[in-house]
């Protein structure tokens, strides 16, 4: 057996069930259809692997008959015929679109188990557009019970599944229960620890009187026991299924943070579809998971992180590595040969690794992070409520940083951490919890060296160490987190009742003996398939118990040493001396033997992997094969990256031999040292009082909401505003640092609105809104922004103003100057903003002056790009539509001078970007393709597709307008060629340039753009209008 997990799916037909099962194995699987799997079809069919199902689909897609496939596989023809039916139906679906598919065919597709995502792939559409088509046709799943009494009596179970092969529900839906999403399939990296978290969340809710709905599809779990939750749905954890269950059940909320990364991955789409997500906002989860946004946040709150950069060429990578100095951690986004994240120690190895293992390009960047040698990795598991930390535990790794936290040996309570290091970690965790406004569980991994701490990553969800720390310390962090998310009373920092001499150690369980060819070396990618935890009076006693619990045999006599680096030899020397004094017979490979003999340690030399004529007494191969060695300590030299799977070094071959001959093997210097110390202490390993626990129940305390710490931060940022009392007329006034200040304040505004709804930053201030052109978004955005800041607005439209009586713009400005504290102006004249600024004693904010500029739209556009994609640098931005009169385009092009971007221009010839702007782009080396058609090649390169309306009001010739108005339309067929993580933007309003079907595409950011705009305008108003002392009332340009 080699598998580490399994899924179970339930349907009313084989086709429905098999398609569900394929999707359950991996979120990237759409179902039974042709894929781009890297395989030879015939070879895969004859020699089964985990890719066999995809080989079958590819074979049928390529025209293989059922008989031919049967000859190659001997799979029963009944199954093959069913699968062939799915393949044929999939081909049929490619002839349709969301607008041409018939209701009967769509229903048949759902009965055969085709998912919305799968159909969207056939129809060049998107999942939500298919969902809309399906629901409008009245095609929705039915909830069925599993019959546990073989139809002898009516079944009354809560064991449920969804099917389209039905006509009615088996149950009613009156509970409005809280949904908890489970852990899904067990795999390396996500296992039973997340199931424990899910079960504890459900039990906590039920104890508090809540009805619960569990969604999971893993038959190995406790969460899929039908008596754990009020309702159990044996269903996939996908956007489609979770939405279906949420709507059918009229659920009162969804908890995503207990099931690991699988539920977290759909948090943002669910949030955007108005699903009530309990706990931390999915937008904040996205901030933690997007490396650019998280990095900026850490900078803003003063928490350190290792230097990192995303690079698109090998030359850039070398330059960055030379600057931060080796070693570095390399994460390619596209891997060729199976090697993935690796530690690299020299320029030579970097070049070799990137050339062999990864494709480095603009489409496939590589992320390189400074790797800090000799640093200790520390795990922080915490719970917060409204951004305030209410419980936490710190555990330390035995291994130095560079070993995946899932493979690390954990010690709790920490035994070797400096009090100052602990204080700094707690302080950083509080800051991060506050900045992300966390409610619920979160986990942060730190590295520490010489009391200097840095954040590696933050997971805003339960982590794999939550069960361990909860059980060791006797405080159920998941119960606490669940109560925080549900708004229930809880005890902050409950008393910890553990014995004085008491240490818990978590030891990983590996399955290298089952994975032929795998190199048993610990690294940055997780390899363990399980874990154990044991208690002891010291960390050494707990560790040796844990190691024995994994099946590790302690050495009786012979120990083989092979230590690569001089540094490791020196570090191991005291431990080796201890082994010698304990009477162990020591063997060593060449370099290690010479070193030990020079230090006066008697050792027998063994030659690694020589020819067959070698004497048995000197043969390492003979010693391992004949079980002459009780323990092999092999510490590879850390001057090379982990080789591709086909590379065979001597060290690798001896390690593999130890695994294959079941010789206990240690490959990490810190593990070797703690093991030897534990052996030297001669523990009797009898059961003692620390091996069992009896924790008392702590009574709940009333709910006390602490005042969040967001507002003082805003006040501090506003105190030194460079924009105070300044006119905002043009984007050219802003430096890059000033833009980033604006965006930082916008982030704080977003957090403040999330926490409090309205802030009192501009209480008592009045904003005059003068709109001499029609406006929905800009006027209402400024109006809302001012009111959310605690201020008031006065709205003046041209239709009801004295301009109808002939009043000049300057007189109107001078009049409003007497009433308000700032004026927002939109006017059809290109010179309007400058005229207003000339005659106003109050700040003028330009909301659009003719076809010239729209500064605040450009600010919110830039903020949108940062929030959606994490960064602006390195992107390709394509402008389409009316580039001649589009003032939003002109302003954004000017702001983009601060960034390293490529700009593509697509417009009718008569609406091309003005020559002056185009020449400016060219002089900055930012101009890419210029075209009159939006080709698949242009779309494929695009990260941001910025569409604009062809503005009828700017045309003097109506016929010219009619000719060009619909010349560039973006629809689902256009986006078929686009990247999955690109975005579509539009300043709105739109006419026909973006088809309505695109609205359902998650890449459509134009309505989210409006919300970002409110935060940006809140920030701008606060920076401009924050009150100052009397006597400083005169205003000028920035």
Catalytically annotated residues: 777-778, 805, 826, 854
Pairing status of strand 231-234 against strand 159-163: parallel
The answer to whether 342 and 641 have CB atoms below 8 angstroms apart is yes
Count of C-beta atoms within a 10 Å radius of residue 222: 15
Helical spans, DSSP H, in 533-610: 539-549, 566-581, 590-598
The answer to whether 436 and 710 have CB atoms below 8 angstroms apart is no
End-to-end C-alpha distance for the chain, whole angstroms: 70
Rounded-to-integer distance, Cα 711 and Cα 443, Å: 25
Tell me the three state secondary structure of residue 913.
coil
Q: What is the DSSP string of 337-381?
A: SS--SEEE-SHHHHHHHHHHHB--SSSS-EEEEE--TTPEEEEEE
The answer to whether 281 and 288 have CB atoms below 8 angstroms apart is no
What b/e string do you get for 306-337 counting C-beta neighbours within 10 Å, with b at 16 or more? bebbbbeebebbbebbeebebbbbbbbeeeee
- Nearest 10 degrees: CA dihedral of 526, 530, 535, 539? -20
What b/e string do you get for 353-381 counting C-beta neighbours within 10 Å, with b at 16 or more? bbeebbebeeeebbbbbbbbeebbbbbbb
Which tokens is 650 given? 């001597």
Rounded-to-integer distance, Cα 694 and Cα 494, Å: 16
Count of C-beta atoms within a 10 Å radius of residue 757: 8
Cis amide leading into 989 (omega within 30): yes
Angle at 702 between CA 700 and CA 703, to 5 degrees: 115
Burial of 722 (0-12, 13-18, 19+ CB in 10 A): middle
The answer to whether 707 and 385 have CB atoms below 8 angstroms apart is no
The answer to whether 766 and 793 have CB atoms below 8 angstroms apart is yes
Residue 822's closest CA among 790, 796, 844, 855?
Answer: 844
Residue 792's closest CA among 816, 769, 817?
Answer: 769
Residue 970's closest CA among 941, 999, 927?
Answer: 999
Helical spans, DSSP H, in 599-648: 620-625
- Secondary element (H or E) of residue 457: strand 452-459
The rounded Cα 40 to chain-centroid distance in angstroms is 33
Burial of 5 (0-12, 13-18, 19+ CB in 10 A): middle
Pairing status of strand 178-181 against strand 212-216: parallel
Residues 6+ apart with CB under 8 A from 945: 878, 880, 939, 970, 978, 982, 983, 984, 985
- Secondary element (H or E) of residue 68: helix 66-73
Cis amide leading into 374 (omega within 30): no
The answer to whether 439 and 386 have CB atoms below 8 angstroms apart is yes
Rounded-to-integer distance, Cα 520 and Cα 508, Å: 13
Rounded-to-integer distance, Cα 185 and Cα 149, Å: 28
The answer to whether 87 and 57 have CB atoms below 8 angstroms apart is yes
């Amino acid at each position: 057996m080699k598998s580490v997990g399994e899924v179970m799916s339930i349907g009313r037909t084989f086709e429905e069930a098999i398609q569900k099962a394929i999707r359950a194995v991996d979120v990237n699987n759409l179902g039974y259809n042709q894929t781009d799997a890297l395989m030879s079809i015939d070879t895969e069919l004859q020699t089964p692997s985990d890719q066999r199902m995809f080989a079958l689909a590819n074979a049928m897609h390529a025209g293989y008959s059922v008989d031919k496939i049967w000859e190659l596989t001997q799979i029963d023809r009944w199954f093959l015929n069913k699968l062939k039916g799915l393949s044929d139906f999939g081909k049929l679906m490619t002839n349709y679109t969301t607008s041409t598919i018939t209701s009967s065919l769509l229903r048949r597709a759902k009965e055969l188990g085709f998912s919305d995502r799968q159909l969207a792939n056939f129809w060049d559409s998107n999942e939500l557009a298919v969902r809309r088509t399906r629901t409008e046709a009245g095609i929705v799943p039915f909830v069925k019970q599993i019959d546990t009494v073989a139809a002898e009596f009516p079944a009354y179970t809560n064991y449920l599944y969804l099917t389209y092969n039905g006509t009615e529900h088996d149950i009613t839906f009156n509970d409005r229960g809280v949904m908890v999403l489970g852990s899904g399939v067990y795999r390396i990296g996500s296992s039973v620890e997340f199931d424990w978290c899910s079960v504890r969340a459900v039990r906590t809710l039920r104890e508090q009187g809540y009805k619960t709905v569990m969604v999971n599809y893993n038959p190995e779990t406790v969460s899929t026991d039908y008596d754990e939750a009020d309702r159990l749905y044996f269903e996939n954890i996908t956007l489609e299924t979770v939405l279906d269950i949420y709507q059918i059940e009229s659920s009162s909320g969804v908890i995503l943070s207990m099931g690991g990364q699988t539920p977290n991955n759909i948090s943002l789409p669910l949030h955007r579809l108005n699903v009530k997500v309990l706990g931390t906002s999915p937008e904040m989860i996205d901030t933690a998971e997007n490396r650019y946004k998280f990095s900026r946040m850490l900078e803003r709150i003063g928490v350190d992180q290792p230097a990192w950069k995303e690079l698109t060429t090998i030359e850039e990578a070398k330059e960055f590595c030379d600057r931060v100095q080796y070693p570095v951690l390399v994460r390619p986004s596209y891997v060729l040969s199976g090697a993935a994240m690796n530690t690299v120690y020299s320029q030579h190895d970097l070049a070799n690794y990137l050339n062999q293992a990864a494709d480095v390009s603009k489409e496939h960047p590589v992320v390189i992070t400074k790797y800090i040698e000799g640093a200790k990795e520390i795990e922080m598991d915490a719970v917060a409520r409204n951004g305030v930390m209410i419980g936490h535990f710190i555990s330390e790794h035995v291994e130095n940083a560079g070993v995946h936290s899932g493979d690390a040996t954990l010690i709790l309570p920490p035994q070797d951490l400096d009090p100052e290091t602990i204080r700094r970690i707690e302080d950083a965790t509080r800051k991060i919890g506050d900045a992300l406004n966390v409610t619920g569980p979160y986990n942060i991994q730190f590295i520490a060296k010489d009391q200097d701490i840095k954040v590696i990553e933050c997971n805003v969800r339960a982590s794999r160490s939550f069960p361990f720390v909860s059980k060791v310390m006797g405080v159920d962090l998941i119960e606490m987190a669940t109560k925080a998310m549900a708004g229930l009373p809880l005890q902050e920092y409950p008393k910890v009742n553990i014995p004085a001499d008491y240490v818990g150690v978590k030891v990983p369980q590996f399955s290298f003996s089952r994975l032929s060819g795998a190199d048993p070396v610990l690294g940055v990618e997780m390899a363990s398939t399980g874990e154990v935890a044991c208690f002891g009076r010291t960390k050494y006693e707990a560790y040796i118990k844990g190691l024995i619990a994994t099946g590790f045999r302690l050495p009786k006599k012979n120990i083989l040493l092979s230590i690569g680096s001089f540094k490791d030899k020196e570090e191991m020397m005291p431990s080796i001396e201890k082994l010698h004094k304990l009477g162990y017979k020591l063997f060593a490979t060449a370099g290690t033997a010479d070193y030990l003999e020079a230090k006066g340690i008697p050792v027998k030399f063994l030659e690694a992997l020589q020819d067959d004529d070698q004497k048995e007494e000197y043969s390492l191969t003979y010693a391992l094969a004949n079980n002459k060695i009780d323990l092999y300590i092999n510490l590879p030299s850390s001057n090379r990256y982990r080789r591709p799977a086909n590379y065979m070094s001597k060290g690798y071959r001896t390690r593999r031999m130890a695994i294959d001959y079941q010789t206990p093997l240690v490959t990490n210097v810190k593990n070797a040292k703690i093991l030897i110390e534990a052996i030297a202490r001669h523990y009797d390993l009898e059961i003692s009082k620390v091996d069992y626990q009896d924790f008392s129940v702590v009574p709940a305390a009333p709910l006390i909401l602490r005042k969040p710490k967001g507002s003082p931060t805003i006040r501090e940022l506003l105190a030194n505003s460079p924009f105070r009392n300044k006119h905002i007329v043009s984007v050219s006034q802003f430096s890059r640092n000033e833009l980033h200040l604006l965006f930082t304040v916008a982030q704080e505004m977003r957090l403040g609105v999330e926490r409090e709804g309205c802030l009192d930053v501009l209480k008592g201030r009045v904003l005059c809104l003068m709109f001499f052109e029609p406006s929905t978004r800009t006027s209402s955005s400024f109006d809302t922004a001012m009111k959310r800041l605690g201020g008031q607005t006065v709205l003046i439209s041209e239709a009801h103003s004295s301009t109808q009586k002939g009043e000049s713009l300057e007189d109107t400005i001078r009049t409003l100057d007497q009433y308000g504290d700032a004026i927002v102006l939109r006017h059809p004249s290109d010179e309007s903003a400058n005229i207003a600024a000339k005659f106003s004693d109050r700040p003028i904010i330009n909301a659009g002056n003719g076809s010239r500029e729209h500064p605040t739209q450009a600010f919110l556009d830039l903020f949108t790009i940062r929030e959606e994609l994490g960064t602006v640098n390195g992107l390709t931005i394509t402008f389409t539509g009316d580039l001649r009169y589009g003032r939003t385009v002109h302003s954004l092009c000017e702001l983009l001078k601060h960034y390293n971007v490529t700009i593509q221009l697509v417009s009718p010839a008569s609406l091309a970007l003005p020559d002056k702007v185009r020449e400016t782009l060219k002089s900055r080396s930012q101009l890419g393709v210029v075209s009159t058609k939006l080709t698949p090649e242009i779309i494929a390169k695009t990260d941001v597709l910025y569409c604009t309306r062809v503005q009828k009001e700017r045309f003097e010739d109506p016929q010219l307008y009619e000719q060009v108005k619909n010349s560039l339309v973006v629809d689902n067929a256009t986006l078929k060629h686009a990247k999955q993580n690109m975005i579509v933007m539009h300043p709105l309003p739109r006419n026909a340039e973006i088809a309505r079907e695109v609205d359902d595409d998650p890449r459509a950011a134009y309505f989210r753009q409006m919300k970002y705009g409110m935060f940006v305008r809140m920030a701008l108003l606060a920076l401009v209008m924050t009150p100052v002392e009397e006597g400083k009332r005169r205003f000028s340009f920035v």
